[in-house]
């Protein structure tokens, strides 16, 4: 019998969605968010995400930082679709010995992030776990995007250039706990230089860029010498560490120069780097690395 380790996360999702009714819409399983028609020129974004102790954070991680991360991850996905957050549902599953103060600090972190980027907590659920179990924080949320601002993973074309915001690698050193979702930057992008395809980097460029390319029916090539590495990180870490939560996008070749010039003026403190291109399907490079649920060995990592 095949195991989850053998099948992998992408393979599991592909198999599971065949077993249930799904809605035909602008986007569904496999993009950063699900997209639902609302009428009136607006689209609703749906997203759910979970943090698991010893997978996404350690027991000694400050609860306020865990709260920030739990919501910021979802907001990052809304940004990657060109949208904005609205309402959040928070589900908490804890062992009975969990300190009340820890849970309150978690909620303060959630509040910090919502106050910074928008959105409100509209409800949630709590559940107990057997004593000694790892804590689980699950976030479900709605967002909104104007129809003409929606960006999917599937719009790229051969020849499009691949760009990424910020720097890559080193999330384990703490960046994954206090990152800033690129909400403002995404809003600027879709208004002025709408990408042909976009997603956020959660599992590493080596894992996420091939996903974007495949959704667009393309291959991809990366110039490893152009990668904007976080100080002290290797190319392998930049490609594979994951949890950078930067925007990964494709743009038509003819628009790249103007985009880069205007970006420097609009966001002088944040890098935007061209790192590769989309190719014809079958003409890309094989990329190895990135976070793989069910396969990666955690050790003392938090990603």
Summarised one tens digit per residue, pLDDT across range 132-158 is: 999 999 999 999 999 999 999 999 999
Report, as an integer, the average pLDDT of 257-264.
98
Percentage, residues of the chain above pLDDT 90: 80
Residue 291 burial by Cβ neighbours in a 10 Å radius (0-12, 13-18, 19+): buried
pLDDT tens profile 193-206: 999 999 999 999 99
Angle at 186 between CA 183 and CA 192, to 5 degrees: 140
For the cut 50, the answer to whether the pLDDT of residue 122 exceeds it is yes
Tell me the domain boundaries of the chain.
Answer: 4-149, 153-279
pLDDT confidence bin for 14, thresholds 50/70/90? confident
For the cut 70, the answer to whether the pLDDT of residue 301 exceeds it is no
| pLDDT of amino acid 286 | 85
| pLDDT of amino acid 57 | 95
pLDDT confidence bin for 1, thresholds 50/70/90? confident
For the cut 90, the answer to whether the pLDDT of residue 31 exceeds it is no
pLDDT tens profile 55-71: 999 999 999 999 999 99
Structurally, at CATH architecture level, domain 4-149 sits in: 2-Layer Sandwich (3.30)
Q: For the ranges 8-12, 115-119, 142-146, which has the lowest average pLDDT?
A: 8-12
| pLDDT of amino acid 24 | 59
Per the prediction, the chain carries an average pLDDT of: 91
Report, as an integer, the average pLDDT of 7-31.
68
Compare 280 and 296 and report the one with higher pLDDT.
Answer: 280
Q: How many helices (H) and strands (E) does the chain have?
A: 9, 10
Q: What is the DSSP letter of 168?
A: B
Q: Are 4-149 and 153-279 the same fold in CATH?
A: no
Contact 80, 32 (CB under 8 A): yes
pLDDT confidence bin for 19, thresholds 50/70/90? confident
| pLDDT of amino acid 284 | 86
Sign of the four-CA dihedral 141, 118, 247, 203: negative
Compare 199 and 29 and report the one with higher pLDDT.
Answer: 199
Distances in Å between the Cα of 260 and the Cα atoms of 164, 221, 293 are 11, 20, 34
For the cut 60, the answer to whether the pLDDT of residue 300 exceeds it is no
Compare 267 and 172 and report the one with higher pLDDT.
Answer: 267
For the cut 90, the answer to whether the pLDDT of residue 22 exceeds it is no
Closest CA to 32 of 165, 238, 237, 208: 208
Q: Does domain 153-279 have CATH number 3.40.50.10140?
A: no
Report, as an integer, the average pLDDT of 234-243.
95
Cα gap 103→94, rounded to integer Å? 9
CB atoms within 10 A of CB 288: 9
For the cut 70, the answer to whether the pLDDT of residue 23 exceeds it is no
Sign of the four-CA dihedral 287, 291, 295, 300: positive
- The pTM assigned to this predicted structure is 0.91
């Amino acid at each position: 019998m095949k195991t989850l380790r053998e099948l992998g996360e992408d393979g599991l999702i592909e198999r599971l969605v065949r077993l249930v009714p799904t809605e035909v819409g602008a986007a569904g399983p496999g993009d950063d968010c699900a997209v639902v028609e609302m009428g009136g020129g607006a689209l609703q974004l749906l997203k759910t995400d979970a943090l698991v102790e010893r997978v996404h954070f350690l027991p000694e991680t400050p609860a306020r930082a865990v709260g920030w991360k739990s919501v910021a991850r979802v907001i990052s996905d809304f940004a990657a679709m060109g949208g904005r957050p609205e309402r959040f549902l928070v589900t908490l599953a804890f062992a009975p010995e969990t300190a009340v103060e820890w849970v309150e600090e978690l909620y303060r972190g959630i509040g910090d992030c919502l106050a910074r980027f928008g959105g409100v907590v509209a409800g949630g659920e709590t559940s107990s776990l057997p004593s000694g179990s790892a804590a689980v924080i699950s976030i479900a949320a709605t967002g909104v995007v104007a129809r003409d601002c929606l960006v999917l993973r599937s719009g790229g074309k051969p020849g499009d250039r691949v760009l990424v915001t910020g720097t890559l690698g080193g999330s384990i050193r703490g960046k994954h706990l206090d990152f800033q979702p690129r909400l403002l930057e995404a809003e600027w992008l879709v208004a002025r230089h709408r990408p042909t395809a976009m997603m956020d980097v959660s599992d590493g460029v080596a894992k996420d860029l091939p996903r974007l390319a495949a959704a667009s029916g393309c291959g991809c090539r990366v110039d490893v010498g152009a990668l904007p590495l976080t100080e002290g990180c290797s190319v392998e870490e930049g490609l594979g560490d994951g949890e950078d939560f930067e925007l990964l996008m494709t743009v038509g070749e003819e628009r790249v120069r103007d985009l880069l010039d205007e970006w420097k003026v609009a966001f002088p403190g944040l890098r935007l780097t061209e790192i590769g291109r989309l190719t014809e399907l079958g003409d890309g490079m094989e990329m190895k690395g990135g976070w793989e649920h069910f396969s990666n060995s955690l050790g003392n990592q938090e990603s």
